[in-house]
Amino acid sequence: MPKVALVRDPLFREHTNGPGHPERPERLTAVDDMLDRFPRKRDLKDIPARDASRPELERVHEPAYVERIEATRERSFTMLDPDTGAGSRSYAAAIRAAGGTIAAVDAVAAGGYGAAFALVRPPGHHAEAGRAMGFCLFNNVAVAAAYALEALAMSRVLIVDWDVHHGNGTMHSFYQSNRVLYFSVHQFPHYPGTGRSEEAGQNDGEGHTVNVPFPSGQGDAEYLAAFRRILIPIALEYEPELILVSAGFDTHQADPLAGMAVTDDGFAGMTREIIGLSERCCPCRIVLALEGGYDLEALSRGVSSVLTTLLEGESNPEGLEGAGGARLERKASSISSQAQRSIEATVAAHRRFWTRL
C-alpha cells in the first residue's frame, strides 16, 4: 500500500507571476521530472486536489480580499504587489492550492497515509488576511490548519515553517490563538522583516508563536539545532494532533533568493526530526505543503530527500541514519556562535511558557 500521498494538479502550473519571475511553473515541472525517476514511486500515491470553498478561505482571509483575487480572472494579468502577480488562471490555481492542502489533511486524518505532500503553486505563507504578498495569494497552510480545527474538530495543530523567509501571514493568522503552534526558523534580517524572537504571540496565543531568526550563512547543523533545542521540546509539551510543514526549499545553499547553506542532508534531517516527533505524539500525522525554492535542481532534490526520508521513517520506525544521517550527526556536533545566540534568544523569550525548554 502506498505510504505517502501526493497532491499534484496541472492547474498549479497555469498560475503566473509574469515573465522572468523566479516563482514560475517550471518549478513543478522539475519536481514532476524528479518524481518520474523516483526509485520508490510505487510507495507514493497521487490523490485528487479540490478547490477550497469560499467559507474555507474566509476562515483566514477577508471576504473582500477573496473577491479581489477572484476578480483577477477577468484580466490577462494583474499586479497584486511589487513581487506578486496573477494571470487569468491564477485564482483557479490558488483556490485549488488551498483546497489541495486541505485534501492532503483529509487523506492523513482518514488514516490511509502516514504523510502527505501538497506540491502546490502559488505558495502561501506570506499571504495575509487581506493582502497578497511575497508570491502568495491564499495562505494554503493557514487555510488547512483552520480546516483541521473547525471541520475536523482538532484542538492543537503544529505548523513548522522551514522556508528561508518568515511566514508572516501564517503567524498573524493564529497570533492570538493557542490552537495553533507556529514555529519558524528563517533568515533575518530578510524579507518580509517579521519573525523576531520576541514576537511570541498575544492573549491566548502567548507562547504559541516561536520564531528563530538566523543570520545568513547557517546550514544543516544550525537548523537541526533549532529543531532539537527548541521545536522538539516545545512540541512534545504541546502534543499536536497534526503537523503541517511549510516546506520551502529556498533554504538550500544553491537558492538564488537567499543566503542560507542547507543541503539535501539538512532537509532529510529536519524531516527525520518531524517524523520522530509525530511518533511520540501519536496519533499525529504529517502534511507538507510546498512554499518557496527557486533553484530547480535544489528544489527537486530537496523534495526527493524529504520523500525518501518519509518512506524510510514509515518502513523503519527506528529511523535510518544512512550515509547522509551520519554526515549530519558529525556536523551537528558544533554550530556557529551566531546561531547559538539566536537559539538562546528564542529560548529566553519562551522559557516562561514551556517547562521543557
Query: Catalytic residues, which ones?
Result: 126
In this structure, are residues 140 and 124 in contact, taking their beta carbons and an 8 Å threshold? yes
**How many angstroms separate the CA atoms of 90 and 75, rounded?**
11
Q: Which string of x and - marks every residue 104-143 that binds Zn ion (by CB under 5 A)? A: ----------------------------------------
Nearer to Zn ion, 123 or 201 (CB): 123
Q: What is the dihedral of CA 94, 98, 101, 107, to 10 degrees?
A: -120
Residue with cell 494554503: 140
Taking the complex as a whole, how short is the minimal distance between the CB of residue 249 and Zn ion, in angstroms?
9
- CA 96, 102, 105, 106 torsion-angle sign: negative
Q: Which string of x and - marks every residue 283-312 that binds Zn ion (by CB under 5 A)? A: ---------x--------------------
**Interface pick for Zn ion out of 165, 190, 229, 272 (rule CB under 5 A):** 165
Q: Which residues ranging from 224 to 263 are in contact with Zn ion (CB under 5 A)?
A: 248, 250
CA 319 to chain centre: 22
Q: 74: which DSSP letter?
A: G
- Per CB under 5 A, the segment of 19-27, 162-170, 266-274, 335-343 that binds Zn ion is 162-170
DSSP 334-346: ---HHHHHHHHHH
Cell numbers for 222, please give them: 544550525
Taking the complex as a whole, how short is the minimal distance between the CB of residue 294 and Zn ion, in angstroms?
8
85 binds Zn ion (CB under 5 A): no
- Applying CB under 5 A, the site for Zn ion has a residue count of 5
Taking the complex as a whole, how short is the minimal distance between the CB of residue 191 and Zn ion, in angstroms?
8
Taking the complex as a whole, how short is the minimal distance between the CB of residue 133 and Zn ion, in angstroms?
12
**How many angstroms separate the CA atoms of 91 and 55, rounded?**
16
Taking the complex as a whole, how short is the minimal distance between the CB of residue 43 and Zn ion, in angstroms?
28
Nearer to Zn ion, 258 or 349 (CB): 258
**Interface pick for Zn ion out of 23, 51, 56, 163 (rule CB under 5 A):** 163
Q: Which residues ranging from 173 to 212 are in contact with Zn ion (CB under 5 A)?
A: none
In this structure, are residues 66 and 2 in contact, taking their beta carbons and an 8 Å threshold? no
In this structure, are residues 93 and 15 in contact, taking their beta carbons and an 8 Å threshold? yes
**261 residue type, one letter:** A
Binding footprint of Zn ion on the chain (CB under 5 A):
163, 165, 248, 250, 292
